[in-house]
């Protein structure tokens, strides 16, 4: 893109002090223009900003922002009220300058997948991406298969910049029927734009290439700007496939396999699902024990010991649930504190912060664990179980 030259503006500024505007922090929404190519390959400039409606079905209208995210572009089929949320998003976010860490390749039995090019360690950000297409859930579900819905979906794709359109249409569509609807169902993420009817399907074409594993090496969440963030949860070597969990990894194998089949049309043969029979039974037994212990530790009146807390964490470790540690570490921290074990509580809370940043981002859960780690004795859980048992 072309735009404000930071150095030229910031090195010496004769107006500094005379006007309130800080020239080192230009209004990127206004100043940056984005280079896009039209269908014939000619370059032209597009300023970020939402346009439309380009068409509506009932209260759901099509809007486009071709300059969004350095010309990757975004389209949305949503209500007018939700458009105002999208207008508040930073149009040139900072996440696109991460180095390329992976490439897409054939993975036997799974179609395409994402392969690591570099060694990654726990906590490394892998692929932060904004959505290319947001569609209101009610528009997709209630109007399913209607001609007017299909026409608006097809129109929406024509408003994506060329490269993003190619990525969007290149995604796997598994269930048949209308192609764009199918792409959404096969590859959609839940995105909440807020308010009582904020549920949308979000499509992130590059993220869509991650295949499923019940014990994935990446965790993901969608942040408050609707950016999909994937982070490594353990050491990954070059050549290893990068995977996420599409479903609840705490379910027993049969339930996981049924869900993968009914919702995404494949039989899961990940390492955990392919264990020999006796080991599957052991794994399912551990998952059941996790359920029992968690139920007990969530009940303030139940009899809980530090042995239970350690056993629970050990079960997670043996089950290789590295992408799902934030919740259990929070439970461990609170229970240690409920039992008046400040040092253990602090240690688990710090680990819960680390896992929370990977799995959920810097939100209320992380803040609450930071507070517990800082001062266990000031936390509302301090010695709670001991008081209750007196
Ligand atoms: C979101 S896409 C993942 C990328 C896809 N493989 C592609 O070629 O674009 C989801 C689809 O990938 C396939 N898939 C994902 N994980 C799989 C797995 N563990 N085993 C077999 N197929 C898988 C299924 O067909 C599923 O419907």
Q: What pLDDT does 382 receive? A: 97
Q: What pLDDT does 163 receive? A: 94
Asked if residue 33 has its Cβ within 6 Å of ligand 1, the reply is no
d(CA 128, CA 60): 28
SS3 63: strand
Give Cα 54 to chain centroid, integer Å.
Answer: 29
Asked if residue 211 has its Cβ within 6 Å of ligand 1, the reply is yes
**CA Rg value for the chain:** 24
Give Cα 25 to chain centroid, integer Å.
Answer: 29
Q: Examine the predicted complex and report whether its ipTM is higher than 0.90.
A: yes
Phi–psi pair at 96, nearest 5 degrees: -85, -10
d(CA 328, CA 313): 7
Q: What pLDDT does 362 receive? A: 95
- Tokens 């014939």 belong to residue: 40
Q: Is 33 exposed, middle or buried (0-12, 13-18, 19+ CB in 10 A)?
A: middle
Encode burial over 124-158: b for 16+ CB neighbours within 10 A, e otherwise: bebbbbbbbbbbbbebbeebeeeeebbebbeebbe
Opening angle at CA 225, ends 213 and 98, nearest 5: 65
Query: Residue 82's closest CA among 143, 136, 3, 36?
Result: 136
Pocket of ligand 1, candidates 172, 189, 261, 267: which has the most ligand atoms within 8 Å of its Cβ, to mutate?
172
d(CA 304, CA 297): 6
Pocket of ligand 1, candidates 102, 103, 111, 204: which has the most ligand atoms within 8 Å of its Cβ, to mutate?
111
Q: What pLDDT does 62 receive? A: 98
Asked if residue 165 has its Cβ within 6 Å of ligand 1, the reply is no
The one-character DSSP state at 95 is G
Q: What pLDDT does 99 receive? A: 58
Structural tokens at position 90: 């930073």
Q: What pLDDT does 9 receive? A: 29
Encode burial over 250-282: b for 16+ CB neighbours within 10 A, e otherwise: bbebeebbebbeeebebebebebbeeeeeebee
Quick check: 224 and 113 in contact, CB under 8 A? no
- Distances 283 to 229, 251, 317 between C-alpha atoms, Å: 29, 10, 12
Among protein residues, the one with the nearest Cα to ligand 1's atom 25 is: 266
Q: What pLDDT does 389 receive? A: 61
Asked if residue 186 has its Cβ within 6 Å of ligand 1, the reply is yes
d(CA 171, CA 190): 17
Q: Separation of 170 CA from ligand 1 center, angstroms?
A: 13
Q: Whole-model pTM?
A: 0.86
Asked if residue 162 has its Cβ within 6 Å of ligand 1, the reply is no
Q: Is 95 exposed, middle or buried (0-12, 13-18, 19+ CB in 10 A)?
A: middle
Q: Separation of 260 CA from ligand 1 center, angstroms?
A: 10
Q: What pLDDT does 186 receive? A: 87
Quick check: 240 and 217 in contact, CB under 8 A? yes
The one-character DSSP state at 51 is B
Query: Residue 77's closest CA among 154, 146, 166, 145?
Result: 154
d(CA 230, CA 253): 24
Q: Which residues of the chain have pLDDT under 50?
A: 1-37, 97
d(CA 299, CA 282): 26
Query: Residue 312's closest CA among 286, 350, 346?
Result: 286
Q: What pLDDT does 387 receive? A: 79
Beta bridge partner(s), residue 78 = 61
User: In this structure, is the dihedral angle defined by the CA atoms of residues 173, 152, 95 and 191, taken in order, positive or negative?
Assistant: negative
Beta bridge partner(s), residue 134 = 76, 202
Structural tokens at position 254: 């049969």
């Amino acid at each position: 893109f072309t735009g404000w030259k930071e150095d030229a503006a910031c090195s010496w500024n004769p107006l500094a002090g005379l006007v309130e505007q800080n020239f080192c922090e230009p209004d990127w929404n206004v100043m940056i223009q984005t280079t896009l190519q039209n269908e014939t390959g000619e370059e032209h400039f597009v300023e970020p900003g939402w346009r439309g409606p380009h068409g509506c079905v009932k209260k759901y209208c099509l809007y486009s922002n071709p300059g969004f995210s350095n010309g990757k572009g975004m389209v949305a089929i949503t209500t007018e009220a939700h458009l105002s949320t999208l207008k508040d998003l930073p149009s040139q976010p900072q996440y696109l300058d991460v180095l390329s860490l992976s490439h897409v390749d054939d993975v036997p039995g799974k179609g395409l997948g994402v392969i690591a090019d570099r060694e990654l360690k726990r906590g490394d950000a892998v692929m932060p991406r904004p959505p290319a297409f947001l569609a209101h859930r009610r528009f997709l579900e209630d109007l399913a298969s209607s001609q007017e819905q299909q026409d608006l979906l097809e129109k929406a794709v024509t408003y994506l910049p060329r490269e993003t359109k190619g990525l969007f249409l290149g995604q796997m569509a598994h269930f048949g029927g209308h192609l764009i609807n199918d792409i959404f169902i096969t590859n959609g993420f839940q995105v909440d734009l807020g308010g009582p009817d904020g549920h949308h399907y979000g499509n992130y074409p590059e993220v869509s290439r991650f295949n499923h594993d019940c014990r994935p090496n990446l965790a993901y969440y969608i942040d408050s700007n609707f950016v999909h963030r994937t982070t490594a949860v353990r050491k990954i070597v070059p050549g290893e496939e990068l995977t996420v969990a599409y479903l609840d990894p705490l379910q027993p194998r049969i339930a996981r396999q049924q869900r993968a089949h009914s919702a995404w049309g494949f039989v899961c043969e990940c390492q955990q699902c392919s264990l020999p029979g006796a080991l599957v039974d052991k794994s399912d037994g551990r998952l059941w024990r996790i359920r029992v212990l968690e139920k007990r530790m969530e009940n303030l009146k139940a009899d809980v010991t530090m042995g239970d807390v350690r056993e629970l964490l050990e079960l997670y470790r043996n089950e290789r649930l590295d992408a799902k540690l934030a919740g259990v570490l929070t439970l461990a921290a609170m229970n240690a504190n409920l039992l008046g074990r400040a040092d253990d509580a602090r240690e688990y809370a710090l680990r819960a912060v680390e896992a929370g940043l990977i799995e959920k981002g810097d939100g209320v859960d992380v803040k609450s664990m930071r507070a517990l780690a800082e001062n266990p004795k000031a936390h509302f859980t301090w010695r709670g179980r001991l008081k209750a048992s007196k």
